Structure 1
């Protein structure tokens, strides 16, 4: 899906999440032709972030024709969202638009009834309030984002960027999403089920060592890496490494490696002509049978079906040189 994307702002919308959506969908970097038709919808006198006035935007009536509607974060979750916004989001959903909330924008979706019976999340500080006010919503308090197909929600702040990149990955594949992530200097992909960083104590030392380790391991996915291998590279004990991994990524080292290998398989299926056997060797999956088993478990389809789906959309986007390994 490329189509039209409309970012919804209103008085009290928050700046960070709005900027994330604008950077991802509102800037055409020449990766896909055509890129998203992006626009902003806002009330007449909206203040973004409490101080930046929104001018020249579409009205909420524009949501009636949007393919994707992204609702920015709401600064006062104790207040009721604007009724005209709630009505416009409800109408867009009934028409079949893809509805997305960033952070506390989930309260707008819940007020519109869009989240009834669905999984949803928001910033961890407000998940209890969301569940209490809207008991028909299946609130998941400890994930980065949820994807219910036509309705998606994210947790707070940086998780909004994760969800925006997930949408691009869904629409255009891993190569395009990774290219945008590199431009924005953010992680290329964090799975929605990864834990939010909830009230974690401040690290006593810079996280550069672990960041360097993640980069080192990502360049060696074809090798049979073990936790002791990673610990030696990071100059840590295996116990300390595991603790740091869980704190930073929400995953144990081996689960993180497995997820990275699956993501790398996705990218190669979309952008390369290698056989399944060759991809298995390049990603550390070992054999084609092992790759098929893990890939189907992670994505619900065989790798051949996944590749065919992306090839049927047209020729895959070229992978920028900086993404090649």
Structure 2
């Protein structure tokens, strides 16, 4: 039977730990047999899991014989990785085990040297830190998970569920994976990636920068359909000079900056109103509904309708009052 070892390091995140345990331990083959044997392994007899203590039944030596090793995230992903845990992970990899990280445990695999030269992801809020600490890792903050074959990484905790279902599908096919997805009451595949969960604020100019007043005005008026030429005229400079100053002070182009402001306004309207999407496009400053949909998907990763389905919380005063 395929053995899945779940590594519980000190200050393990309980939700991250429970996801692979539940998914793999509940997966059944068409004849009813268990598809996996699941072991929880610790580097010590007792592991701090925050609100409770955990006494794993297996030690690090169990990783050497595992077919898959899943590493849940920890409360402090940048904390030093114990030498014995790093050695056990490297040994498992050398033995041909498939290694997978959930959320912040991409830091764990990186600290063990197992992500060097690979594309990887982690929770979007920690992606910048992962890239800074481990420059040999190609960090992609916009996806739910990355599959490099024998090394896989996932984004936030819920994306760990997506990753585990993906591994089940790779091992036993879509029918088996769909069964455990239904049992978990989640889709087998979610539309879009992490981008839809990120708050896309526009990059500010440094405090005291020459563009700061202009950006404040643009933020207040972007929904009125102002153009880059309007910004240049207000700043009293050519569009070429404005573009150069934007790159120097805001780290992007004027058109991209305006698009981010408008997309953020559109997100707010999709979350808080039941306005038609075409009306939201107009009220966010986009010239056409088509341009709005294209730019929204480019920035957020899903279309406006899918975003509203996931995050819309407006309840109308009449009718059923249901989610829209």
Shared topology, TM-score over 0.5? yes
* Other-structure match for 2:301: 250
Distance 1:158 1:241 in 2: 29
Task: Provide the TM-score with structure 2 as the length reference.
Answer: 0.62
Deviates more, 1:27-36 or 1:8-17: 27-36
Distance 1:193 1:117, change over 3 A: farther
Deviation at 1:77, TM superposition (A): 2.3
Q: Work out whether 1:125 is the aligned partner of 2:176.
A: no
Task: Provide the TM-score with structure 1 as the length reference.
Answer: 0.62
Contact 1:124 1:196 in 2 (8 A): no
Deviation at 1:250, TM superposition (A): 2.5
Pairs within 5 Å for 1:84-95:
84-95=84-95
Number of paired residues? 229
Q: Work out whether 1:39 is the aligned partner of 2:39.
A: yes
Pairs within 5 Å for 1:208-247:
242=293, 246=297
Deviation at 1:82, TM superposition (A): 2.1
Distance 1:121 1:22 in 2: 21
Distance 2:113 2:133 in 1: 12
Distance 2:111 2:289 in 1: 47
Distance 2:270 2:306 in 1: 24
Distance 1:196 1:46 in 2: 34
* SS class of match (2:5): strand
Q: What are the ranges of 5 or more consecutive residues in structure 1 without an aligned counterpart?
A: 210-226, 229-236, 257-325
Deviation at 1:184, TM superposition (A): 1.0
Cα RMSD (Å): 3.4
Distance 1:44 1:88 in 2: 16
* Other-structure match for 2:13: 14
* SS class of match (1:153): strand
Pairs within 5 Å for 1:1-325:
3-29=2-28, 31=30, 33-42=33-42, 43-48=44-49, 50-190=50-190, 195=195, 197-199=197-199, 242=293, 246=297, 250-252=301-303
The structure having more radius of gyration, on CA atoms, is 2
Distance 1:105 1:146 in 2: 13
Contact 1:178 1:189 in 2 (8 A): no
Deviation at 1:54, TM superposition (A): 1.2
Deviations along 1:119-144, one digit per CA (max 9) or x if unpaired, are: 11111111111111111111112111
Distance 1:123 1:135 in 2: 17
Distance 1:158 1:21 in 2: 11
Contact 1:124 1:198 in 2 (8 A): yes
Deviations along 1:236-255, one digit per CA (max 9) or x if unpaired, are: x9669948984998234899
Contact 2:124 2:194 in 1 (8 A): no
Distance 1:191 1:81 in 2: 34
Distance 1:188 1:77, change over 3 A: same
Distance 1:52 1:248 in 2: 40
* SS class of match (1:38): strand
